[in-house]
């Protein structure tokens, strides 16, 4: 009995290890297949790119709205300054109304958050755009405010969050891909809704890649000009923020840009491409 057991147990262990490895391989294959099968190659009318996403715009809007309370809490809640908020609304809505962003189904909202220290702005999928009070007070002109808001609108219409979510499904496996693919915003409380709630938590700390930031800068240049703002104001935003570091930690706005100078050169290149004969006069600085 003992001898037989001795022989059986190690062989089971070897089988177990092989079995676990096989399960891992199968799951990895399913995860990779899930990324390619659970996502679709969708052309983006505004950027002109074909991108891999799993969410519909309606699902992006629903997820963004779910993340609103968490995001507001993270940065001190809404700023109690009706005049500043009205100004941000006016400039943000002008950007949307006068640019291709206004032809999308995304529902843009522009919020000022009370955080007095963290210099940052961000966009949730589907349209909510936020700026902290710390960033707002650094800005000197209406055109600079337009630059920051247009950059964030760029993230929304370029669907950068949806692309990041599709990539995270590759990491997290088929369960995430299946949940999001099956997610129906009108039935909260479902298994899919619970899985999506977990992703909402990740949205709050989502960082876009360098290419996404540069693409949003290029879109901002277009959208600013569409709305009558001088796109060179986006360069002065970068200069102000680069100087505001002053030996301290750089603003969070630059967290994915170790080299603001390089970003300024890219914005200048986008302006030169948009206006080969020079930026027209009379635009709001």
Q: Which residues, 216 to 275, sit near Zn ion by CB under 5 A?
A: 216
Q: Checking phi first, is residue 278 left (phi over 0); if not, alpha (psi -120 to 50) or beta?
A: left
Q: Minimum distance between the CB of residue 216 and Zn ion, rounded to whole angstroms? A: 5
Q: Of 213, 89, 100, 99, which is closest to residue 142 (Cα–Cα)?
A: 89
Q: What is the dihedral of CA 57, 61, 67, 71, to 10 degrees?
A: 100
Nearer to Zn ion, 15 or 209 (CB): 209
Nearer to Zn ion, 192 or 213 (CB): 213
d(CA 200, CA 108): 18
Q: Which residues, 180 to 219, sit near Zn ion by CB under 5 A?
A: 213, 216
Which residue of this chain has its Cβ atom nearest to Zn ion in the complex? 213
Residue 41 has phi, psi (to 5 degrees) of: -85, 110
Token pair recorded at residue 138: 């650094």
Q: Minimum distance between the CB of residue 186 and Zn ion, rounded to whole angstroms? A: 31
Nearer to Zn ion, 62 or 234 (CB): 234
Nearer to Zn ion, 217 or 226 (CB): 217
Q: Minimum distance between the CB of residue 213 and Zn ion, rounded to whole angstroms? A: 5
Q: Minimum distance between the CB of residue 110 and Zn ion, rounded to whole angstroms? A: 15
Q: How many residues of this chain bind Zn ion (CB under 5 A)?
A: 2
138 three-class SS: coil
Contact set with Zn ion (CB under 5 A): 213, 216
């Amino acid at each position: 009995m003992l001898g037989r057991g001795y022989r059986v147990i190690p062989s089971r262990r070897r089988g177990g290890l092989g079995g676990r490895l096989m399960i891992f391989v199968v799951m990895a294959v399913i995860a990779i297949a899930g990324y390619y099968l659970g996502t679709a190659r969708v052309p983006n009318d505004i950027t002109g790119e074909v991108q891999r996403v799993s969410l519909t715009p309606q699902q992006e809007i629903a997820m963004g709205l779910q993340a609103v309370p968490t995001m507001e809490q993270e940065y001190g809640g809404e700023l109690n300054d009706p005049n500043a908020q009205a100004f941000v609304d006016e400039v943000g809505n002008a950007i949307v109304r006068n640019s291709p962003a206004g032809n999308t189904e995304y529902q843009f909202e522009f919020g000022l958050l009370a955080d007095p220290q963290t210099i940052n702005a961000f966009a949730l999928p589907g349209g909510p755009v936020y700026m902290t009070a710390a960033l707002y007070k650094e800005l000197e002109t209406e055109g600079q405010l337009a630059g920051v808001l247009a950059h964030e609108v760029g993230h929304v219409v370029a669907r950068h969050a949806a692309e990041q979510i599709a990539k995270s499904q590759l990491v997290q496996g088929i369960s995430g891909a299946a949940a999001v693919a099956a997610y129906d915003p009108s039935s909260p409380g479902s298994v899919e809704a619970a899985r999506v709630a977990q992703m909402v938590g990740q949205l709050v700390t989502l960082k876009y890649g360098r290419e996404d930031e540069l693409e949003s800068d290029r879109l901002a240049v277009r959208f600013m000009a569409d709305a009558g703002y001088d796109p060179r104001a986006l360069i002065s935003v970068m200069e102000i923020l680069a100087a505001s570091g002053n030996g301290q930690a750089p603003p969070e706005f630059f967290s994915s840009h170790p080299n603001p100078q390089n970003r300024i050169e890219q914005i200048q290149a986008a302006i030169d491409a948009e206006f080969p004969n020079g930026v027209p006069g009379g635009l709001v600085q």
